[in-house]
Amino acid sequence: MLANNLYQWYARLFAKPALMSFHRLLYRLAIRGMGIMNSETDEISGEAHFVRFLKSKNPKLILDVGANEGQFAQLCLRLTEAEVISFEPHPLTFKKLLKNIQNNRWKGFEMGLGSENGELELFDHAGQAGSQHASFQQGVFTEVHQTAYETHRVAVKTLDSLAADFGNTHIDLLKIDVEGFELEVLKGAKQLLQNKRIRMIMFEFNSMNIASHASYTSFEKLLEGYDLYRLMPNDFYPLQGENFLFKEIFAFQNLLAIHRDQ
């Protein structure tokens, strides 16, 4: 009751167009404090802290889906002793990835992952092929970036169809950063998820999910058996039981799913 009265009191006094810039500043500061929009470095995004946490679990196998030029794979190779397998569908970016990583614990595959085997159009900025924004979602460019795009036809497989390549090995970490296509990657791993073969999943959630119509709730429903957290610079924030007001925020954040049996 006290909190509700405080909110009403604040709204009466300060909900004014003239104070919108002030409230936008407060909002930006608040979401930063909640682990959102902290994308500048591995440290501020929480990725470095997470990989150090992962090291304490002695991981054997890490899958890096949407490897780009190898930034996350290099971090894992540097901080853990795990084998890292990267997937990158863009032909130009994949060439850079091969040049950037020379390690006997690493393998790279020029393909995308999704919910079905086949081929898909990969969209990218026109004249800027190989950007970090390349996506299988056309809406990323028509709706989110609102810019011209070019396309590349690339191979796509499901993670389930590749499962035999991993033998009986559990996947200690499945990292997914595919510009709004994350939910489709997870749909293609249903058998692995059901068989509890994936211990942890780290995936990016951002404005690209507006184009793919993939809400936080969509991930929560698909990842039954997992507890979800948001990465912060030096910690993880548990999201289960949190109000939708603080979960359905379509802005950059790294989410972590840890299986309850782990």
pLDDT recorded at residue 243: 93
Residues 76 and 15 in one domain: no
Share of the chain above pLDDT 90, in %: 82
Residues 22-35 have pLDDT tens digits of: 999 999 999 999 99
Q: Which helix (H) or strand (E) segment is 194 a member of?
A: helix 190-194
Sequence-ordered list of residues with C-beta below 8 angstroms from that of 48, at least 6 positions apart, any chain: 41, 42, 75, 79
Q: What is the pLDDT of residue 3?
A: 76
The answer to whether 87 and 65 are in contact (CB under 8 A) is yes
- Strand 198-205 and strand 253-259: pairing? antiparallel
How many other C-beta atoms are found inside a 10 Å radius of the C-beta of residue 226?
Answer: 22
Q: Is the pLDDT of residue 239 over 80?
A: yes
Q: What is the pLDDT of residue 44?
A: 96
CATH number at residue 215: 3.40.50.150
In this prediction, residue 144 carries a pLDDT of 87
Pair (64, 111) in one structural domain: yes
My answer on whether 179 and 254 are in the same domain is: yes
Residues 99 and 8 in one domain: no
Say what the pLDDT of residue 165 is: 80
Residues 245 and 140 in one domain: yes
Question: What's the pLDDT tens digit per position in 40-52?
Answer: 999 999 999 999 9
103 and 14 inside one domain? no
Given a cut of 80, is residue 255 above it in pLDDT? yes
Provide the residue range defining the domain that includes 114: 42-259
Query: Which pLDDT score, from 0 to 100, does residue 51 have?
Result: 93
230 forms bridges with which residues in the sheet?
Answer: 237, 255
Let me know whether 2 and 73 are in one domain.
Answer: no
Residues 6+ apart with CB under 8 A from 157: 111, 112, 113, 114, 117, 188
Answer yes or no: do 106 and 206 share one domain: yes
pLDDT at 89: 96
221: phi then psi, degrees, rounded to nearest 5: -70, -40
Phi then psi dihedrals of residue 5, to 5 deg: -65, -40
49 and 137 assigned to the same domain: yes
> What is the band of 145 on the pLDDT scale with cuts at 50, 70, 90?
confident
Specify whether 26 is located in the same domain as 79: no
Q: 104: Cβ–Cβ under 8 A, 6 or more apart, which residues?
A: none
pLDDT of residue 162: 94
- 26 and 46: one domain? no
List residues bridging with 205 in a β-sheet: 253
Same domain, 126 and 167: yes
Counting the structural domains of the chain, the total is 2
Whole-model pTM over 0.85: yes
